[in-house]
Amino acid sequence: MTQDLVRSLFAAEFDNSILDRMDDSATFELEGRLAFTTDCHVVSPYFFPGGDIGRLALTGTVNDLAMTGAFPLYVAAGFIIEEGFPRESLGRIARSMQEAAAEARVQVVAGDTKVVERGAADGIFITTSGLGLVPPGVNITGSAASPGDVVILSGTVGDHGVAVMSRREGMRFETAIESDCAPLGELVRRMLSASDRVRVLRDPTRGGLAAALNEIAASSGVAIEIDEASLPLKPEVGAACEVLGLDPLTLANEGKLVAMVDPEDAGRVLAAMKTSPMGAAAAVIGTVERADRPRVYVRTAAGSRRALMMPSGEQLPRIC
């Protein structure tokens, strides 16, 4: 009976002609270079300011596709649900997932649901997989950063991390801090229309900007220097980080991207980003440098330079 409820609920919410066939696989015609990705979502709590696990799962996967320059098209969703999980919460999650799908202009075409006994899972886990189409000529990869490239960040850092942490710890701030959880496909589309020299795109989720930049530096064999003063940061997020002893550079973001762009095109790309609501607060935050070994540096407000290390371990477990 639970299975039937779940199926009818999801099928009604994600309604589309491909899903409706209810065969073992969804089928559709496609041609070109495809992008394919998967992500598990275990965020706790599953409702948080600015979003929930459904919105997060949808946008997380769509954004991973967009980070290869792909147009996101199709999503498959796997739900692992603890017995006794409130039907009303499941409905809210499915609805917010479908709302995010509509925003991102993708269809949820396949799914699976498993219910496990009480205590065998903590509420709900959602694993989403996505499929997108990379436009001809686009070749964006974490290993393509070149010395001289300009580093652009699409908006403020740390919003998602602080939003989830504050709800988890039952904290209240004077200003509500909301997750930035949002699909980035349209922003990427505008960037790629403005320049064919966007070399790297990455969404700084788990481990934040620190992890994303260290991964890129390692893949590309370069150093990256960012300027602390230029980093977009909401004052209330900065204040919360001070109270909680957190570094905004290591906090998860779920609606932001960092890009490495040829210096000649950086101005054009930045201007294109600012035409999108997702890139309104975009800023140049640093440059790529030649290096003997991969490194990330932060130029502090005081003018000194410190190494920004790969965050070790899981600083904030179950943040996404």
Q: Name which of 79, 116, 110, 74 is nearest 94 in CA terms.
A: 79
Q: Which of 133, 106, 88 is nearest to 16 (CA)?
A: 106
Contact 169, 219 (CB under 8 A): no
Residues 213-232 that bind its own copies (CB under 8 A): 215, 219
Q: Is 52 in the site for its own copies (CB under 8 A)?
A: no
Least Cα distance to 180 among 194, 164, 201 occurs for 164
Residue range at the interface with its own copies (CB under 8 A); choices 24-32, 84-92, 156-164, 291-299: 24-32
Residue 77 CB, nearest distance to its own copies (Å)? 7
The C-alpha R_g of the chain, in whole angstroms, comes to 20
Which residues touch 71 (CB under 8 Å, ≥6 apart)?
65, 132, 133, 134, 135, 185, 189
Instruction: For the segment 89-128, give every residue that binds its own copies (CB under 8 A).
Output: 109-117, 119-122, 125, 127
List all residues 6 or more positions away from 151 whose beta carbon is below 8 Å from its beta carbon: 213, 224, 226, 258, 259, 260, 284, 285, 286, 287, 288
Q: Is 8 in the site for its own copies (CB under 8 A)?
A: no
CB of 307 to its own copies, least distance (A): 19
> With binding defined as CB under 8 A, does residue 302 bind its own copies?
no
Instruction: Say whether residue 67 binds its own copies (CB under 8 A).
Output: yes
Most distant pair of Cα atoms in the chain: their distance: 64
76 binds its own copies (CB under 8 A): yes
CB of 8 to its own copies, least distance (A): 14
From residue 145 to residue 184, the character string flagging contacts with its own copies as x (rule: CB under 8 A) and all else as - is: ----------------------------------------
Please give the residue ranges that form the binding site for its own copies (CB under 8 A).
Answer: 1-3, 21-42, 44, 63-65, 67-68, 70, 74, 76-80, 109-117, 119-122, 125, 127, 129-132, 134, 141-143, 202-203, 215, 219, 312-314, 317-318
